[in-house]
């Protein structure tokens, strides 16, 4: 690569400043349908990582596979038999030179969304000996996208996979949701798990420590746990019931996260920011309060409310380096390369997302119909080449090229990061753009609802035309 302009060199390099922190900086908001302003389950997610990230969106069509076909993702992970038929899905890729296993998001044509938050370090982080043939990592979310027909089905698929092969990450929480249910699924190195359905009258926020705490293990309809989850914690000395044989005081978060994780500044402050914003209550130690994890909001939550949470910056820290995002203390942080709010409508065909291609506090949010498929300019590879590159990329796939739309967004947010005045005044332009985009989207949604009962293919064509227009508009506004 040959960079001619020093300013461009500086701009591109800013995205690489925080490689060790950003992999621990994702943030998720889940809203139950009864506390949602539109009556739909919603999931908001900031995806954070360090290093040179190429973020692209693809549509992967449904497929039929030959008998005996085996799936291989990470070279060191287990090979898994492929299903005969797989769903179509929208794929948000995190392409990194080293190959990232735990950062992509998916929404499939059955209306199931899946993403995750890093929650290691845990008491299970060294349980590698139980992995079969290397265990499973990337395959969890990809196979949920390919196979799940509902959120609950996605949870079952994940549990079956980790039970059979073992889980190869120290600890993560997956969000799996559809129009009827939203689940948090905590997976531990080796294969233990805990899943809980978020209540219709609840919302929750999550950074990078387990948010699941006290759960009713007897509620088999809404809680799914490894058979020895409690006994294992007792054996390892991280939980002792107040009364022998009575596990009602079992706190998963306290028993399985190491204390250092629960005290990590980047986790505590970001959860604290969100709760203060939502409730007006400042919990300096939010992980000590169960109500801080399962919030009953005072008013119904809108898409804009979730966007506002995902854009939050810490009110407690001074910024002295000249770069606005100098520390990993903001929900919209230095390594946020993708942000999305997913709205799970009653008809999955019409489900939609408001997303930003970069830090949400430094980008315009734009609407997309997931099953309408992304615009061609939202990626620079085919979905087939992108899958091949996930763990076998080549340097040329990361070269700077002004025709790759990802760099338009990177350049813009890096300009704002070192120009504090521009950063402070940007929300005025941002709000105006998003108000116009919302008006256009309302018209497109009315058209899609009219078409949907009559002709699915024409509905998809109309939604795709809108997606192209919407992305062209945000790309043009960002360039300008």
Question: Model confidence over 194-217: pLDDT tens digits?
Answer: 999 999 999 999 999 999 999 999
Q: Give dist(CA 121, CA 109) in Å, integer.
A: 34
Residue 297 is predicted with a pLDDT of 86
Q: What is the pLDDT of residue 293?
A: 80
* pLDDT tier at 324, thresholds 50, 70, 90: very high
Q: How does pLDDT run across 412-461, given as a tens digit for each residue?
A: 999 999 999 999 999 999 999 999 999 999 999 999 999 999 999 999 99
Query: φ, ψ for residue 8 (rounded to 5)?
Result: -65, -40
Look at the chain and count its residues.
480
Give the whole-angstrom CA distance, residue 326 versus residue 182. 34
403-420 average pLDDT score? 95
| pLDDT confidence band for 408 (50 / 70 / 90) | very high
Burial profile 205-214: b = 16 or more Cβ within 10 angstroms, e = fewer? bbbbbbbbbe
pLDDT of residue 327: 85
As a whole number of angstroms, the distance between CA 145 and CA 178 comes to 12
For residues 312 and 275, the answer to whether their CB atoms sit within 8 Å is no
Contact in structure between 398 and 54 (CB atoms under 8 Å): yes
Q: Is the pLDDT of residue 17 over 90?
A: no
Q: For residue 370, what pLDDT is reported? A: 98
Identify the weakest region by mean pLDDT among 41-45, 176-180, 291-295: 291-295
Return the SS3 of 274: helix
Mean pLDDT, range 266-293, rounded to an integer? 90
Banded pLDDT at 289 (limits 50, 70, 90):
confident
Half-sphere CA count of 417, side-chain side, radius 13 A: 26
What is the greatest pairwise CA distance in the chain? Answer: 70
CB 235 within 8 Å of CB 229: no
Burial class (CB in 10 A: 0-12, 13-18, 19+), 134: middle
pLDDT number for residue 328: 85
pTM confidence score: 0.94
User: How sure is the predictor about 24, in pLDDT bands with cuts at 50, 70 and 90?
Assistant: low
Distance CA 161, CA 158 (A): 5
- Helix H, strand E, coil C: the string for 45-63 is EEEECCCCCEEEEEEECCE
């Amino acid at each position: 690569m040959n960079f001619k302009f020093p300013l461009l060199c500086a701009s591109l390099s800013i995205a690489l400043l925080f490689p060790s922190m950003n992999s621990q900086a994702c943030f998720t908001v889940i809203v139950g349908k009864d506390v949602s302003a539109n009556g739909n389950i919603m999931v908001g997610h900031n995806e954070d990582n360090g290093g040179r990230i190429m973020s692209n969106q693809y549509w992967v069509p449904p497929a039929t596979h030959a008998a005996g076909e085996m799936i291989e993702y990470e070279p060191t992970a287990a090979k898994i038999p492929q299903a005969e038929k797989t769903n179509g899905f929208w794929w948000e890729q995190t392409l990194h030179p080293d190959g990232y296993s735990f950062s992509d998001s998916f929404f499939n044509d059955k209306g199931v969304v899946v993403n995750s938050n890093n929650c290691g370090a845990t008491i299970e982080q060294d349980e590698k000996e139980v992995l079969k043939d290397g265990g499973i990592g990337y395959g969890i979310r990809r196979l949920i996208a390919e196979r799940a027909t509902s959120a609950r089905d996605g949870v079952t698929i994940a549990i079956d996979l980790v039970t059979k092969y073992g889980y190869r990450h120290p600890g993560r929480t997956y969000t799996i949701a559809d129009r009827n249910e939203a689940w948090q699924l905590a997976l531990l190195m080796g294969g233990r798990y805990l899943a809980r359905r978020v209540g219709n009258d609840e919302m929750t926020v999550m950074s990078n420590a387990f948010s699941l705490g006290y759960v009713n293990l007897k509620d088999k309809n809404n809680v799914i746990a490894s058979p020895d989850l409690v006994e294992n914690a007792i054996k390892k000395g991280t939980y002792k019931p107040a009364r022998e044989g009575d596990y009602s005081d079992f706190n998963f978060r306290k028993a399985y996260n190491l204390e250092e994780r629960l005290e990590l500044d980047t986790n505590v402050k970001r959860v604290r920011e969100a709760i203060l914003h939502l409730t007006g209550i400042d919990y300096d130690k939010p992980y000590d309060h169960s109500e801080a994890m399962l919030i009953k909001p005072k008013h119904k939550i809108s898409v804009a409310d979730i966007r506002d949470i995902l854009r939050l910056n810490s009110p407690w820290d001074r910024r002295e380096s000249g770069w606005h995002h100098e520390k990993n203390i903001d929900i919209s942080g230095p390594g946020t390369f993708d942000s999305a709010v997913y709205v799970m409508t009653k008809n999955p065909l019409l489900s939609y997302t408001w997303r930003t291609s970069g830090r949400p506090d430094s980008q315009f949010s734009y609407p997309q119909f997931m099953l309408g498929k992304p615009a061609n300019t939202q990626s620079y590879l085919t979905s087939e080449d992108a899958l091949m590159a996930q763990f076998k990329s080549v340097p040329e796939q990361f070269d700077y090229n002004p025709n790759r739309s990802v760099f338009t967004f990177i350049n813009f947010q890096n300009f704002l990061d070192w120009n504090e005045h521009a950063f402070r005044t940007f929300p005025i332009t941002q709000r105006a753009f998003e108000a116009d985009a919302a008006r256009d989207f309302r018209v497109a949604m009315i058209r899609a609802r009219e078409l949907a009962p009559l002709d699915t293919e024409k509905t998809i064509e109309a939604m795709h035309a809108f997606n192209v227009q919407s992305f062209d508009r945000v790309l043009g506004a960002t360039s300008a």
